Structure 1
Amino acid sequence: MLTDEQTARFESDGLLPLPQAVPATTALAMRDRLWAFLSIMHGRRHDDPTTWSAIEGRVGFKTLMRAGAFDGLSEHLSEPVTDLLGTAWKPPAHWGHPLVTFPNLQAQWAIPARNWHVDSTQWSTGPIPGVVAFTFLNEVRPRGGGTLVMAGSHHLTWELCRQAGGFMKTSTMKAVLAERHSWFADLWREPVTGEQQLRRYLDEGDVVEGTHLRVVELCGRPGDVVLMNQDMLHVAAPNTLDTPRMMLSDFITRIPDEEPG
């Protein structure tokens, strides 16, 4: 069961790390099954870095998911999800959508300017429309491809949707935020690369409309889990280290209360 402190942290930041929420042995077994799939279907072998080029076209992860490769996550994620959403939530049809980012040693690590988005653009009467669960299958270190999340941004996106009457496209949200605040405008103008600018977003953050914002890089070890509010702005990040980023994501939506009859 989550503590009051953990619940408060999730409400404030929109993120909650759960170290070793999944047994490491379970996570590593899932990693091995993912590698087997990548080897058989795409020729990417765990013991041969020369095969680790990005996969073009359809990857076919749904086949692996439908086979139940990651359904064991339900046993470990259901309790913390229920603590946050209550009992009325919709589980994934098949648990564990793989997120794989192979290394690009020639790339310069940067905070991307494009493709920031939210997974829920629908305002709900509650501040938590649902969560995205990220489960680490291998160690993901800083600058190793971990998803970048803007901690605290759910407060702003939720309010924008409410003011718009219930729905707002991510592109519209970003345009409004960039027009109002230079912190967003600068972030989305061009990739952030300089150490001073990286510190501005990764370490210092800023207070916008009374909310402290900071870009957080999701890092962890096999079996670690991070729960994220669906209203959070986030983006895929480059992997400039020497090992692939392997995580699973699960989109879990709260079932809204029924309207009174």
Structure 2
Amino acid sequence: MKTDTLNLRKQFQLDGIIKLPQFIPKKELKIIQQTLLSDLKHLNIYSANKVLSKTLQGMSPFQQIVKLSQSVQKPKSLDFIFSMIYERVITKLSTFPINPTVESQLLLSLPHQGHWSMETLNWHVDISAQKFQGIQVFLLIDDVQPRGGATMVLCGSHHLTQRPSLHSLRNIISEQSQGEVFLLDQQRVTIQELYGSAGDIYLMDMRLLHSPSINTTKHLRMMATSRFFVKSY
């Protein structure tokens, strides 16, 4: 196995997440960007950097994400991209056999959602098992700025033997800075915001604590995600 693959696997096992910059060429994402913007305009939700839907404006930032993923049609080419990521990365990264089935969804955040805060983030895991269950991929369809609505991740939290309550976790994290190493139940962890450039991908151990965040910028956040689970026998 190549040295770079071994290093990526080591980093993934340690932190629970890795970033592969510019993994998808930007030109391959232009049509997806245009399709999503056209669909949002057709649905009278968002156009020309303006939120048009009063109903969505009345929802919380996290409710907006769910509603948008349900309302906007997912471009078919996204599943093709995630399948390619599976073939080129996931099969090499995981030490367990992973099911190739694509389970993808859009992650869209409207602009100007309010003031930035980590005190109200909804830290959670999508699975409760302590054993490795699979890899979640995050794809940046367009550039995402810091505090631009990207998912927040608590790197290293997959090593925790006992997860703290949401209330205590919010209190602890509100006192920390991004990228700063701190101890949580004697485990070294860091906070990472999954922002970057169009075409960047993040691969996350699904046991990591993570949370949606608030988009304080004037730009629509366009990301997509897919989960790949360990094969069951």
- TM-score higher than 0.5 here? yes
Partner of 1:3: 5
Are 2:120 and 2:170, in contact at CA under 8 Å, matched by a contact in 1? Answer: no
Q: How far apart, in 2, do the equivalents of 1:63 and 1:214 lie?
A: 33
Q: How far apart, in 2, do the equivalents of 1:60 and 1:92 lie?
A: 20
Report the identity percentage: 23
Partner of 2:17: 15
Gaps of 5+ in 1: 161-172, 179-183
Structure 2 residue corresponding to 1:91, chosen from 93, 100, 106: 100
Equivalent position SS for 2:78 = coil
How far residue 3 of structure 1 moved from its aligned partner, in angstroms, is: 1.9
How far residue 24 of structure 1 moved from its aligned partner, in angstroms, is: 1.2
Gaps of 5+ in 2: none
Q: TM-score, normalised by structure 2?
A: 0.82
Q: How far apart, in 2, do the equivalents of 1:186 and 1:176 lie?
A: 9
How far residue 48 of structure 1 moved from its aligned partner, in angstroms, is: 4.1
Equivalent position SS for 1:150 = strand
Q: How far apart, in 2, do the equivalents of 1:48 and 1:176 lie?
A: 34
Structure 2 residue corresponding to 1:175, chosen from 165, 189, 202: 165
1:68 to 2:76 alignment = yes
1:82 to 2:86 alignment = no
Distance 1:43 1:202, change over 3 A: closer
Q: How far apart, in 2, do the equivalents of 1:60 and 1:5 lie?
A: 35
Partner of 2:39: 37
Distance 1:108 1:69, change over 3 A: same
Partner of 1:150: 154
Q: How far apart, in 1, do the equivalents of 2:146 and 2:172 lie?
A: 19
Partner of 2:50: 49
How far residue 61 of structure 1 moved from its aligned partner, in angstroms, is: 4.0
Are 1:21 and 1:225, in contact at CA under 8 Å, matched by a contact in 2? Answer: yes
Partner of 1:100: 108
Q: Partner amino acid for 2:181?
A: G
1:24-69 CA-partner distances (Å, limit 9, x unpaired): 1112222222222222224422x2425376466844648723x624
Q: Partner amino acid for 2:115?
A: Q
Structure 2 residue corresponding to 1:116, chosen from 101, 120, 123: 123
Partner of 1:253: 229
How far residue 174 of structure 1 moved from its aligned partner, in angstroms, is: 3.0
Partner of 1:131: 135
**Structure exhibiting the larger radius of gyration computed from Cα positions:** 1
Q: How far apart, in 2, do the equivalents of 1:121 and 1:13 lie?
A: 18
Are 2:141 and 2:199, in contact at CA under 8 Å, matched by a contact in 1? Answer: yes
Distance 1:63 1:203, change over 3 A: closer
Distance 1:63 1:211, change over 3 A: same
